[in-house]
Structure 1
């Protein structure tokens, strides 16, 4: 399967607010996630980071009673336009979840190519074979599983399952990859491998990652946005900018307190 030559994509949220029923959880969040960069979303639990991430690929609307306002634009095109199909938005903006979620009874091989059927992409057997090797190599997993492609995905270790999910997400050629605390359930060795994978992937895909690990945010991201929900108010961005500046010379005292572990 030939690699599609696509320019790296910029994702732009403009005045995004979100509700669960009548409860407002995000207020007027605007953020540019630059093409070919890793943007980390940081902040205490309950400040709307994961909700914001799910809004970026139209998963928020799956929750009964959920609603939102504002725009999310991929290279200037609003992904919530009425004529745009949800499946097209999710194909271009992939997601890797906090807990590895391979299809447990499905083989490693079939896990990788599962998204092709969902998005209606038809390929030959040879193209599928090439795609599986390519995506598992990019996910840093090929050498470990190339002799186990017919084993169930659920038989892999936790770290391997998470990398399998990354490979599965890459198979449909997304332009943006969203990662919701992808290392929170993993041991330090698996975490390091995922971080290496992120560094390798960002030359081909724009990455947005939610993390509660400040050392990880400092290691893997180029840009950083600090979310906070104070005194029962909805989550909002306090400050955002280059990661080095956010950690070394933040403009807001609350950012400094959070990144240096004084709360959260």
Structure 2
């Protein structure tokens, strides 16, 4: 039987857990129910997000997709009125276990937000390395230079900025800033990367580059993406989950499975209506 635990802040900090093994990890949500105060936003949501793949979360606005995404690395806890029940398992271990520190979850499960948010006063180089200070990770100078290049290469930005690493990160274009934020997330070597509508504010050319970057990263880090763009979900994801909330009820997953099947032969009429643009 799945154990359901109520979660709310504050939480007791425990001793540091052993370092997590390298490489992409599977992520599994079990019976996640979430509230903001007395308002319930998710109802018993369960989903497995396989390692070495891209899982897309789709559905109309207000159905709990972004809340679910934030629960996956404990950002839900940042809201004072937030609470949840259920489990989030990273390779079988619950990230909400009281014996696990918040920083351990954030190190293993990174986040890229809808709007690019490089630190404007920092250079491109400093932006990439910023996460090391936040997580207390120590790297020598030679290691830092190597890490900056590695992350910018993986983020699809190295060729464009390699000769101006000391220029302000805020001086890049919107698409470049988003790739810089991806590189910054990769610097702490996460096993999962969460992306909340990362292309919604970008032009088609920048969107294509970000999508190519995601595909290249999928063998190195598990990716979970929230998107309202059905064409994007069909292009980039391996698996897909359709969220829906109706008539004031909390969000649920109507259907999930391989992306091709979700778009060509969905099992629920509501899924077919949504992916074919009949609502939402």
Taking structure 2 as the reference length, what is the TM-score of the superposition? 0.92
Per-residue CA deviations over 1:44-80 (Å, capped at 9, x if unaligned) read 0000000000000000010120110000000000000
Question: Post-superposition, which runs of at least 4 consecutive aligned residues in structure 1 deviate over 6 A?
Answer: none
Segments of 5+ residues of structure 2 without an aligned counterpart are 1-19
Q: Give the counterpart of 2:191 among 170, 175, 178.
A: 175
Q: Give the counterpart of 1:210 among 226, 229, 246.
A: 226
Q: Within 5 A, what are the aligned runs for 1:141-160?
A: 141-160=157-176
Question: 1:65 corresponds to which residue?
Answer: 81
Residue 33 of structure 2 is aligned to residue 17 of structure 1: yes
Aligned partners of 2:167 and 2:79: how far apart in 1? 33
Aligned partners of 2:135 and 2:73: how far apart in 1? 15
Q: Is the 8 A contact 2:26 2:50 kept in 1?
A: yes
* Cα distance change, pair 165–61 in 1 and its aligned pair in 2 (3 A): same
Task: Say which SS state the counterpart of residue 118 (structure 2) adopts.
Answer: coil
Task: Say which SS state the counterpart of residue 145 (structure 2) adopts.
Answer: helix
Residue 210 of structure 2 is aligned to residue 185 of structure 1: no
Q: Give the counterpart of 1:42 among 40, 58, 63.
A: 58
Q: Give the counterpart of 1:52 among 68, 71, 90.
A: 68
Residue 120 of structure 2 is aligned to residue 115 of structure 1: no
Bigger drift between 7-16 and 157-166 goes to: 7-16
Shift of 1:5: 7.2
Shift of 1:8: 2.4
Aligned partners of 1:122 and 1:23: how far apart in 2? 42
Aligned partners of 2:132 and 2:24: how far apart in 1? 21
Per-residue CA deviations over 1:122-144 (Å, capped at 9, x if unaligned) read 11111100000000000000011
Aligned partners of 1:120 and 1:62: how far apart in 2? 20
Task: Say which SS state the counterpart of residue 256 (structure 2) adopts.
Answer: strand
Please, what is the CA RMSD of the aligned residues? 0.9
Q: Is the 8 A contact 2:23 2:221 kept in 1?
A: no
* Cα distance change, pair 5–30 in 1 and its aligned pair in 2 (3 A): closer
Residue 229 of structure 2 is aligned to residue 199 of structure 1: no
Question: 2:7 corresponds to which residue?
Answer: none
Taking structure 1 as the reference length, what is the TM-score of the superposition? 0.98
